[in-house]
Structure 1
């Protein structure tokens, strides 16, 4: 069992197991955390309060931007605190009003870089606009005329500026909409252009892609669903956007049905996608649902999900004992940050505390917590847009996704596999290997090896289908497929790291790899077929299957020629080669092992990845089968599934360890 963490807020505040049976957290715990975060910023605040420069190496845009980030992102948190509790937050109003006056004054020694000077200031402008909007009566209306004018002038430099066609378009939307509400300049053309781009992010079942690629990650929730809800609160009566807002509402409702199944029983979000240093910003879409009046989730379930996520990090050391959010996941782990991240960047986590802007009598604060889906029973779900099979198991509280649709690329686009996007699996109990010296595909992968042992990449693969299949005991099995050329990528690994793969400078192509996953509970049976082509540039080599990476203080392993198991901190991973008992054709010899790395993930100092590979070139035009396990057990021995089929047929039957069976047809391949 992956243990629930005890939140540090409970060291000084009693847990309320009547109102919050799962987490014990009430609004008072949230206020305590917010006050610790805002108090932790005080020692690093400049004399005129315009900049908050947290300790650490400067970010990619320099210390001036770092100081602005520290102000803007903590101001968002302060604004939520002020909006929800104006009677007790006058000191925050004074603190941030002074910083606003100094930061927007062009003659101030603490003046901020403008959005037309440094692109990153466009991001921070949005946080400032949202904060000012939510505290209009408490802060904006009390500013002197000069500060109002300099603030409007500073924000107005976003008008007409270029913005990348990703979640950034929402930054300009909320800034210019705020300017409209306070009588400042704005551009209707900018707003219409940005809204049209944002509408183009819609995908199936309430999901958004962050741009034009298969970029599915936490930005769907903490940006692309959050900003429309905040934008709505800025709109004047009679606005022309009701139809668009209705679509956004429907998308949010549907997305939340999936999002709540992705939270582990211990509150951990998936360790997947870029900007993970924003940590409990992952709670933002649940609060957006509460603010929008969503009916997809009950108020008690919204608070259970949000409190679970935030208390998970608080218990694990974020913020640290100084009240600081460092660059990392639980504790500081600098390798998790992208090149654009500075010491103030983690305070985008403030988005996950939006619920504080809702008053104490809101139903989301007064309702009794309700259990997460994973606490009510095992979860099996297909999520079409990102191409995920979601499998959550109540016994250990772990949520896994098996990934056949996300790579931050598009079909046929060759680039290096991004560890945070292109792996075949992500979970709430594991992290992909992120150390700089070990980023070639190994964990969560199926690769071919060239003559030097260099693995292929899968980005640019072709998606297949997602479905669920009946299982003999009345449960279900998830099935997903994909295929793609094995590519060897030479890329500029020294370029900026934005969390997704580097584009290829040179590519060599090999055989095509076809994959079919059958997922039930903690197990995935992964079928692999390798089909060579006449124009292959790379001779056929060995096939390697890498499992889940487990991380912790200690690592235990067990191996034999056809299986490997790794256990760390109560999480177990295994890869087992499965013989097909009714296929008489010989298979090539196998070997297996566990790759042992130090400081490779943010979840612990030691990591182990079980693997299995052919001892020589893989046999082609044949479906090989491997079982991959991720669960909360600690013993190294595993009882793996078994498969049966007939030579020349695509029909297979899987017998799971509990005796239940699933029949499926493997996809045709050419």
Structure 2
């Protein structure tokens, strides 16, 4: 194993200690270990572990293509210097993988859709390392590579981030005299333009799908393509637009990294780990000065160190399916042992030479290290709170569910929960993955089964006079009997649906607190007979903790839920092996002791912070839908709970 500390430079990097030497050492370590698992001609890299849902042939291709990213970034940034012989080693794999007669030949793009993903990585590295690899390949091998990539032309790609895989492959083919379709590229660019949302964000397709793909794919590939297609009027005209979007997006993304370097634990493909750093390197490579190079490196290095300090790669030098350490449930059903190596995208900064400003600038603190903040993100419908004291970033979610308004699917724990943070993880495995308890507002049917919220309607969000944020959503409570287990791609499941009352939730977020206001409305028919339950933050708890407190991330992390009138029933769910962060997860909850009353506003206080709260907010009602929230410091906010809008701007009052 590498002794990471030997490279530390606390003057250049006062927050992480990390320099380019750390990143280079990480890349070299991953690449040298990967050679142990390579086939004789290097075309397949098959890491240990059960095969993924697409089979061993795809797994071996993933292992090659994704480690090839690390090799290409490494050599490109060294301007061809290659003491490990990476280009020669991977050239042998290219020759065998693209040879249809080789026993190591790759699954083709017209044989399996996953090959379209891996082909883009291969094309990207061939572009970045062209003088040291492509230009030195035997003409026969170059012809084989072109033939292997050519089925991308005219092929169907899912209308999500995958459109960029087709664009990148066809752009590379054009650059080496191969075939391409101008119609494919034009259609892909038009489709991608349609993903653009407010403040530089992208949705991953037509659905409300916001996750790490927004940065490591949808921001990453457009600027790379403009480099590949420099001189093409389409690329040159779009580049300033892509730069503006990236600059705006990164301003938000920096607020979603915890002080300990943890990315937000939300969305699918989390097993790619430090791929989340790719977006910050993309900003540096594009020449952005806002955010500053020192801040971009701080975020990227913090993310990488977060994982290397916590067991990834593992003691054998392998990136396993997991988050920190191996934990298979975090992956989707299609993921195989080579899948985690898309983390290599996070090594993109190595394409920049050692004298680049991103490596020479002094690290600057993350937003959460500089002070408390409240950030409203309209595109994903998130209310964000970062607190310097504990370094935790929290997101209250009223806009993301990997679906569309009006759908009635089961809730994906990775998308449809009411809250996500950099210090907690949703319950992804076990009974509560499909039966929401953490960060939820549910109705319980006669069998005790909780309702789902996917398909909700997002209501207005506002910044309140105190600086707090108010957001809201409403949905028809529903229960789903899935039609089949099917493949897990991170979204909810369809099936036979039972509909219940409407639920509206208004969240008022300030610091570590959320004041959660809830009302159910019976759409007619028989009165609702089941309880209402409000679930809080899922607390990673390595040991049983009856009071809900646990030491995490060098601070005492505490999760609490305090119900107001009518929510007197309380408890803590203890879930075993349900989250990648700990063997046990504790979820506090409160509920109505009996059937919830329609058209009555209930409220609960939901807390996640470092240590026990010094004081509790207080909620009072000035009318049927006007709630006054008095925060522990004496500041008060008034919200119109019927729509989450500000109804008053009270002055600061003394603490009670």
Do the two structures share a fold, i.e. TM-score over 0.5? yes
Task: Report the alpha carbon displacement of residue 640 of structure 1 after superposing the two structures with TM.
Answer: 2.0
Task: Report the alpha carbon displacement of residue 211 of structure 1 after superposing the two structures with TM.
Answer: 0.7
Once the two structures are superposed, what CA deviation does each residue of 1:587-641 show, in whole Å capped at 9, x if it has no partner? 4x621110011111000111100001111111221211100001121x5x77321
Q: Return the match for 1:646 from 622, 628, 632.
A: 622
Alignment partner of 1:604 is 2:582? yes
Tell me, yes or no, if the aligned pair for 1:229 and 1:291 is still in contact at 8 Å. Answer: no
In the alignment, which residue of structure 2 is the partner of 1:257?
251
Q: Return the match for 2:462 from 450, 467, 477.
A: 467
Q: Under a length normalisation based on structure 2, what TM-score does the superposition of the two structures give?
A: 0.95
In the alignment, which residue of structure 1 is the partner of 2:11?
18
SS at match of 1:241: helix
The CA distance in 2 between the partners of 1:566 and 1:535, in whole Å, is: 43
The CA distance in 2 between the partners of 1:91 and 1:399, in whole Å, is: 42
Tell me, yes or no, if the aligned pair for 1:568 and 1:607 is still in contact at 8 Å. Answer: no
In the alignment, which residue of structure 1 is the partner of 2:557?
571
Task: Report the alpha carbon displacement of residue 197 of structure 1 after superposing the two structures with TM.
Answer: 1.1
Q: Under a length normalisation based on structure 1, what TM-score does the superposition of the two structures give?
A: 0.93
Q: Return the match for 1:33 from 19, 23, 26.
A: 26
In the alignment, which residue of structure 1 is the partner of 2:498?
508
Task: Report the alpha carbon displacement of residue 42 of structure 1 after superposing the two structures with TM.
Answer: 1.2
Segments of 5+ residues of structure 2 without an aligned counterpart are 645-656
Residues 448-467 of structure 1: matches in 2 within 5 Å?
448-467=443-462
Tell me, yes or no, if the aligned pair for 1:643 and 1:654 is still in contact at 8 Å. Answer: yes
SS at match of 1:654: strand
SS at match of 1:137: helix
* Number of corresponding residues: 639
Alignment partner of 1:277 is 2:267? no
Q: Return the match for 1:330 from 317, 324, 330.
A: 324
The CA distance in 1 between the partners of 2:334 and 2:557, in whole Å, is: 32
Q: Return the match for 1:499 from 470, 483, 490.
A: 490
Tell me, yes or no, if the aligned pair for 1:54 and 1:344 is still in contact at 8 Å. Answer: yes
Once the two structures are superposed, what CA deviation does each residue of 1:332-356 show, in whole Å capped at 9, x if it has no partner? 0000010110100001111111000
SS at match of 2:586: strand
- List structure 1 runs of 4+ shifted beyond 6 angstroms: none
Tell me, yes or no, if the aligned pair for 1:556 and 1:568 is still in contact at 8 Å. Answer: no
Alignment partner of 1:105 is 2:81? no
In the alignment, which residue of structure 2 is the partner of 1:64?
57
Tell me, yes or no, if the aligned pair for 2:225 and 2:235 is still in contact at 8 Å. Answer: no
Q: Return the match for 2:66 from 73, 88, 100.
A: 73
The CA distance in 2 between the partners of 1:459 and 1:260, in whole Å, is: 28
Please provide the CA RMSD for this pair.
1.5
The CA distance in 2 between the partners of 1:470 and 1:10, in whole Å, is: 49
SS at match of 1:202: coil
Q: Return the match for 1:540 from 521, 526, 529.
A: 529
Task: Report the alpha carbon displacement of residue 242 of structure 1 after superposing the two structures with TM.
Answer: 2.8
In the alignment, which residue of structure 2 is the partner of 1:5?
none
The CA distance in 2 between the partners of 1:414 and 1:176, in whole Å, is: 38
More off after superposition, 195-204 vs 488-497: 488-497
Task: Report the alpha carbon displacement of residue 651 of structure 1 after superposing the two structures with TM.
Answer: 2.3
The CA distance in 1 between the partners of 2:226 and 2:84, in whole Å, is: 26
Residues 85-234 of structure 1: matches in 2 within 5 Å?
85=78, 86-89=80-83, 91-234=85-228
The CA distance in 1 between the partners of 2:191 and 2:535, in whole Å, is: 38
In the alignment, which residue of structure 2 is the partner of 1:4?
none
The CA distance in 2 between the partners of 1:16 and 1:212, in whole Å, is: 45
Task: Report the alpha carbon displacement of residue 643 of structure 1 after superposing the two structures with TM.
Answer: 1.1
SS at match of 1:214: coil
